[in-house]
Amino acid sequence: MNKTESRKDQHVKVAIEKNVSSDYNYWDDIKLVHNALPEIQKKDIDLSTKLFNKKIGAPIIIASMTGGYSKAKKINENLAVAAEKFKLGMGVGSQRAAIEKNDLKETYSVINNYDIPLRFANIGASQLVIWGIEKTLQNAQKMIDMINADVFIVCLNFLQEAVMPEGESNARGVYDAIKKLTEDLNIPVIVKESGAGISYSVAKKLSKTKISGIDVGGLGGTSFSAIEHYRSQMINDKLHERGGKTFWNWGIPTPTSILNVGDATNWKIPIIATGGIRNGLDVAKSLTLGADAAGIARTLLEPAISGKTHRLV
Ligand SMILES: Cc1cc2nc3c(=O)[nH]c(=O)nc-3n(C[C@H](O)[C@H](O)[C@H](O)COP(=O)(O)O)c2cc1C
């Protein structure tokens, strides 16, 4: 591993070069009932839907992944090309790097060159504690402006922070910070897990805030413990290498998390199903369970890296 590479750069590299999926994909447990008499003309099927008051071409979101180092600009641009063509929602990765270093802004704001119907800003939850509430509110507005975001995501990633060599694992005060963001920002605020899922009790607690949606970010796809296992291995950090291995398959499966979150929130706020979605059939399964849309991350990463940047119209 090259010492000059940023952490986000290493995450992408490891996610591409190694098998970082959980050992089991829980979408395989779900079988939809076949309808032998559908009485519909295939070409009349309209996949478009409304999410956070925006019309999107299909209930699919390109999940938050990257930004903050030079090569990420092309990845985000290629993802933006797809988001524009298929009118999908799109998130960028944690925008902390651009708050700390102004010249990294364009690795995120490149998506402004594309007509994307629903854009998600993103910050890791531990950063809210580090900044404190006043600075968080100021920086949140900067992140929103940076990509003209329609929705602000707080990413709950404490498992990753705990197994990561340089992790920031102070979670004290995060709930209050989220509550304040939901009250003060003038766009919807949602929370998103990044691979370990949201439980019934966490969703119940969050439902007491003005939260506008939950991305369950469940177990079954990319495992950040796996990514951190490999990153630790590369720098010969035995402790975190072992920690990443131990928690590789930790979490609430995405399908289970959808049902738990739906029950806890009385299905009143949008639920996004991210974690292990590989294709349209997995998306359909997530909708059947009650999700409003599904998020796809790693499956889109490789094409976004190798793809040629051009408008596909
Ligand atoms: C390389 C990489 C970087 C990621 N960075 C972020 C991030 O900055 N913020 C975030 O909320 N989620 C991040 N994620 C998590 C994804 O949004 C998603 O929740 C997770 O990968 C599970 O989806 P998948 O199984 O389709 O990959 C990242 C995922 C990958 C693969």
Contact 23/248 with Cβ under 8 angstroms? Answer: yes
- With H, G, I as helix, E, B as strand and everything else as coil, classify residue 39: coil
Q: pLDDT over 90 for what percent of the chain?
A: 93
Q: Whose CA is nearest to atom 6 of ligand 1?
A: 65
If you average pLDDT over residues 100-125, what whole number do you get? 98
Q: Whose CA is nearest to atom 3 of ligand 1?
A: 65
Contact 250/159 with Cβ under 8 angstroms? Answer: yes
Helix (H) or strand (E) holding 9, with range, is helix 7-17
Decide: 68 in ligand 1 pocket, CB within 6 A.
no
First-to-last CA distance in the chain? 38
**Can you list the alpha helix ranges (DSSP code H) found in 150-250?**
158-163, 174-184, 200-206, 224-234, 238-246
- pLDDT recorded at residue 309: 62
pLDDT, one tens digit per residue, over 129-140 is 999 999 999 999
How far apart CA 154 and CA 189 sit, in angstroms, is 7
Decide: 296 in ligand 1 pocket, CB within 6 A.
yes
291 forms beta bridges with none
Q: What angle do CA 276, 187, 61 make, to 5 degrees?
A: 20
Question: Is residue 197 left, alpha or beta, with left meaning phi > 0 and alpha meaning psi from -120 to 50?
Answer: left
Sign of the Cα torsion 55, 60, 64, 70 reads negative
How far apart CA 173 and CA 192 sit, in angstroms, is 17
Burial pattern 180-219, b for ≥16 Cβ within 10 A else e, equals bbbeebebbbbbbbbbbbbbbebbeebbebbbbbbbbbbb
Model confidence at 156, pLDDT cuts 50, 70, 90, reads very high
Model confidence at 313, pLDDT cuts 50, 70, 90, reads very low
Please say if the pLDDT value at position 312 is more than 80: no
Decide: 275 in ligand 1 pocket, CB within 6 A.
yes
Contact 29/258 with Cβ under 8 angstroms? Answer: no
Please say if the pLDDT value at position 145 is more than 50: yes
Contact 3/235 with Cβ under 8 angstroms? Answer: no
Mutate to test the pocket of ligand 1, among 65, 66, 128, 225 (most ligand atoms within 8 A of CB): 65
Please say if the pLDDT value at position 307 is more than 80: no
In the numeric block, the tokens 């003309």 are attached to 41
pLDDT, one tens digit per residue, over 60-78 is 999 999 999 999 999 999 9
Contact 21/79 with Cβ under 8 angstroms? Answer: no
Distance, CA 194 to ligand 1 centroid (Å)?
Answer: 6
More confidently predicted of 4 and 102: 102
Model confidence at 6, pLDDT cuts 50, 70, 90, reads confident
User: What are the Cα distances from residue 247, in Å, to 148, 229, 306?
Assistant: 36, 9, 30
- pLDDT recorded at residue 274: 98
Model confidence at 44, pLDDT cuts 50, 70, 90, reads very high
Decide: 160 in ligand 1 pocket, CB within 6 A.
no
Please say if the pLDDT value at position 30 is more than 70: yes
Model confidence at 171, pLDDT cuts 50, 70, 90, reads very high
Contact 242/214 with Cβ under 8 angstroms? Answer: no
If you average pLDDT over residues 244-263, what whole number do you get? 98
